[in-house]
Amino acid sequence: MSWFEKLLPARIRTENKKTRRTVPEGLWQKCPVCQAVLYRAELERSLNVCPKCTHHFRISARERLNFFLDPDSQQELNATCQPVDMLKFKDSKKYKDRISQAQKTTKENDALVSVTGTLHGMAVVVCAFEFGFMGGSMGSVVGEKFVRAANHALEKNLPFISFAASGGARMQEALFSLMQMAKTSAVLARLRNKSVPFVSVLTDPTMGGVSASFAMLGDVHIAEPNALIGFAGPRVIEQTVRETLPDGFQRSEFLQQHGAIDFIVDRRELRQRMANLLSILTHQPALIS
């Protein structure tokens, strides 16, 4: 505080002068596909889908859940699960530091948020990946929270929905991460046996260990338009086969053509389509006319 400010009486002093701006940051956003300059509020109204070209922006787990579930219906599950650096993993940076940095920037404890809530009044269990948390990578916490959410759905006999957005298994937890593939897949076998629906929504990107486990084990697979979905990353494939990959390779439309997903849906229509689908699978009266 400068000597001058100290002299001023407290009621005249203005705090946080430095952060005051006339134009808040992020008021405008450019669409990376059609280059249109979009008004942030308008973009949010259209659920972060470009109103000009329908490019689907990546969104955080919380935004996803807020868009998807009925207002004020959410109750978070297992919010206290925290990652552990059991291997004392250190590359160019310590895993411990990567965790705390990711926690700071995303305000999440790890890369998966799980909640119960309602969709057009129907109770459901939903988990959504936070891609901003170390690329949405799956480690022990993600696996455990997924399993607990699935078990919650099983106990309460509620439909279970997952929104995947992940680069794959988390390298910093090494083989523990790989085993989460087995763990998350095994719990889904139980849902199947009890005919509890599991719908997997694949968003940009869904790769590696996440796509090669629960994300591809849905009763129904739904993808957002133009999402990158696959096992091996395009760069790895390019290096292996030594040719440039065709346009649209590993995108939602490609996967639908090859029979891997049931349908592609615009984010703005997802609530309706999902509600319709689930009400049929669970023999409930039509929720939407």
Residues that bind another protein (CB under 8 A): 80-84, 86-87, 89-92, 139-141, 143-144, 147, 169, 171, 173-183, 185-189, 192-193, 208-209, 211-217, 229-233, 236-237, 240-241, 245-246, 249-250, 258-260
To the nearest whole angstrom, how small is the minimum distance from the Cβ of residue 180 to another protein? 6
To the nearest whole angstrom, how small is the minimum distance from the Cβ of residue 200 to another protein? 10
Q: Which is nearer to another protein, 167 or 275 (CB)?
A: 167
Q: What value, to the nearest 5°, has the Cα angle with vertex 49 and ends 104 and 280?
A: 100
To the nearest whole angstrom, how small is the minimum distance from the Cβ of residue 219 to another protein? 12
Cα Rg for the chain, rounded, in angstroms?
21
Closest listed residue to residue 222, CA positions, set 187, 197, 247:
197
> H helices within 88-218, ranges in order?
95-106, 140-156, 174-193, 208-211
Q: Which is nearer to another protein, 69 or 201 (CB)?
A: 201
Q: Using an 8 Å Cβ cutoff, are 34 and 52 in contact?
A: yes
Question: What span, in angstroms and rounded, lies between the C-alpha atoms of 236 and 233?
Answer: 5
Question: What span, in angstroms and rounded, lies between the C-alpha atoms of 184 and 180?
Answer: 6
* Helix, strand or coil, per DSSP, at residue 208: helix
To the nearest whole angstrom, how small is the minimum distance from the Cβ of residue 282 to another protein? 21
To the nearest whole angstrom, how small is the minimum distance from the Cβ of residue 42 to another protein? 36
Q: Which is nearer to another protein, 115 or 119 (CB)?
A: 115
Report how far apart, in Å, the C-alpha atoms of 21 and of each of 17, 39, 277 are.
9, 18, 46
Q: Which is nearer to another protein, 72 or 91 (CB)?
A: 91
Q: Which is nearer to another protein, 34 or 182 (CB)?
A: 182
Q: Which is nearer to another protein, 159 or 208 (CB)?
A: 208
Question: Facing residues of 169 across strands?
Answer: 138
Look at the alpha carbons of 182, 186, 187, 191 in this order and tell me if their dihedral is positive or negative. positive
To the nearest whole angstrom, how small is the minimum distance from the Cβ of residue 10 to another protein? 36
